[in-house]
Amino acid sequence: MLEAAKSSSFDALFYRYNSLYLLRRHFRAIGISGDLQPASAGDRPVLYIMNHSSWWDGLLAYHAAKLLTRRRQYFMMEEAQLRKFQFFRRLGAYSINRSEPADVRASLRYTARLLSEGGSVWMYPEGELLPLEHRPLELKEGAAVVLRLCPDTAVVPVTLYHGLFFHPKPEATLVAGPPQIHPWKAMDRHSVTALLASCLREQLDGHRRLILEHQGHMPAGFEPLMKTGGSVHERYDAWRRGGR
């Protein structure tokens, strides 16, 4: 497996590139509701579990974590992709190769080590990229293995909902749910996985309903994660207003 090789100088440079160019170029708005560093988790290690429905998921999670947390952040990434984009290792990405059981075990042990050393880790426990509306949402057992290896960990479920609504650029919202703190060591992997799947599934369905109830507009209470990127539609409206 490929371990993370964090570089603070590269991290600072890439964060500016991601926030000031990549995200603003491709998104009209990004917002978040909830707390990525919940006080109720205390000093426990934090494992973030997130649904996985777009190429942008990792960069959106990275952006939110840089803005809203102070802990060292790590991200599990498919080995084929990480070998292609090895610079992500310098941001805290490390690999998992799901086709090799020995590599999977090594990656999960490495995840538990990062957590026990005080880092926070982002995982996509569906195990593959699936369409946003794909149901049922089902999780692999990797997160459960990690939690049994590092049972003091708090799990923060994070859901992402994105779409093209009233503008040419998509809008994305993240919801960080309440931390899940349970006696992981006393639970079997199936029970842990079922609990996490139920939590993430209910949160994502509630997140979806909230966006639909607001007809695609970002609901009140979401904290903006970047300055709104103007779209062609908005620039045209501004031109029309100025021409009156």
Share of the chain above pLDDT 70, in %: 93
Question: What does the pLDDT look like over 201-235, one tens digit per residue?
Answer: 999 999 999 999 998 888 999 999 987 655 555 55
- Flag whether pLDDT at 238 surpasses 60: no
The CA-based angle 205-183-191, given to 5 degrees, is 50
Using pLDDT thresholds of 50, 70 and 90, give the confidence band for residue 240: low
Q: Between 239 and 30, name the one with better pLDDT.
A: 30
Rounded Cα gap, residues 188 and 185, in angstroms: 8
Average per-residue pLDDT in the chain? 93
Judged on CB neighbours under 10 Å (0-12, 13-18, 19+), 180 is buried
Rounded Cα gap, residues 114 and 95, in angstroms: 13
Share of the chain above pLDDT 90, in %: 84
Question: What does the pLDDT look like over 14-63, one tens digit per residue?
Answer: 999 999 999 999 999 999 999 999 999 999 999 999 999 999 999 999 99
Rounded Cα gap, residues 211 and 173, in angstroms: 9
The per-residue pLDDT for 165 is: 84
Rounded Cα gap, residues 100 and 24, in angstroms: 38
